[in-house]
Every structure is written in structure tokens, then in C-alpha cells.
Structure 1
Amino acid sequence: MGQVLIRNLDDGLLEDFRRAAKDGGRSLEAELRDALQRSRPVPKRMSKEELVALSRRMRALTPPGAGEVDSTEIIREARDRGYGASE
């Protein structure tokens, strides 16, 4: 786990976090860790090349013929047996 030192924090901001930590029954460190986790930046979007590579890896995991299954008959059988019917 990494560590970070943040200098020159506004006294009022720090006091707000101290108060929130005390009200929540936890340490200032835990309060700040949670605040950082909640405001975590959104991961960067994949490039076209990354998406194509991911698609190829996923396709390689799909068994041959799996994309050729017609679910129409399965759905009809389930309907005829009463699956999914509200009672």
C-alpha cells in the first residue's frame, strides 16, 4: 500500500474531516481514505486497439458454435411449460 503526504491543507477543511471522523467513530486517516476512495477518478477509456484486443480475447473464450444457438425454441418450451408465468 502506498502512502502520501499532503502539505498546506486548509485548516477549515481539515477540521471538517476531523469532525466527520469523530462523528463517524473512526480515525481522521480512515475518514480521509474513504473520501479519496469515493472521489476516485474514472478509469481512462480504452483505445480502439485495446477494445479490439479485448474483443478478440473474449471471442477466443467462446466455444465454437455458441453464437449459432437460436433461443426461439428454448423460449417457446419455457413458455409452454409455464416458466416465468406470474401466479
Structure 2
Amino acid sequence: MGSILVRNLDDDVIARLKLKAEQRGMSLEGFVRERLTETAAVSREEFVALAAAIRARSRPAAMPADADIRAVREGEPDA
């Protein structure tokens, strides 16, 4: 696992983060780790956009899958 160091945070920001962590019964480090993990998570919209981009870059199969299956079932030599 990696680690990061965030410099130059306002004292007020640190105090509010500490208060929120304390209210949840967490350490400051655990609270911030949880928030960063939530923030970095891929949203449904991002996932759909990524899938669409991958799909757009992919070439369609030369023959539909059902034709491949049918050819294998019928014993065609190049299937």
C-alpha cells in the first residue's frame, strides 16, 4: 500500500476533520483514508463511459458467436 503526505492544510480544516473523526469514533487517519477511498471510487456513470470507450475501440467478431456455435455443433472443420 502506498501513502501520501498532504502539506499546507489550513488549521481549521484539520480541526474539522479531527472533530468529524472523533464524532464517528475513528482516528483522523482512518477517517481521512475512508473519505479518500470513497472519493476515488469509480461512479456508475464513469464505469459506463469507460465500458463504452472500450467497446468503441474493440473490433466486432468476424462471425457472430451463434454462427461459431452452430459450426462446431455441425462439425465444420474450421470452426
TM, length-normalised to structure 1:
0.51
> Cα 1:6–1:47, aligned 2, differ >3 Å: closer, same or farther?
same
Please tell me whether residue 64 in structure 1 is matched to residue 69 in structure 2.
Answer: yes
Deviation at 1:50, TM superposition (A): 2.9
Residues 36-47 of structure 1 mapped to structure 2, 5 A cutoff: 36-40=36-40, 42=42, 45-46=49-50
Please tell me whether residue 26 in structure 1 is matched to residue 26 in structure 2.
Answer: yes
Coordinate RMSD, CA, aligned: 3.5
Identical amino acids, percent of aligned pairs: 28
Residue 6 of structure 1: aligned partner: 6
Whole-Å separation in 1 of the counterparts to 2:30 and 2:50: 32
> Cα 1:39–1:64, aligned 2, differ >3 Å: closer, same or farther?
same
Deviation at 1:32, TM superposition (A): 0.3
Q: Which runs of 5+ in 2 are unaligned?
A: 71-79
TM, length-normalised to structure 2:
0.55
Give per-residue Cα distances to partners, 1:7-60, cap 9 Å, x unaligned: 00111111111001111111000000111112116458448773256686xx87
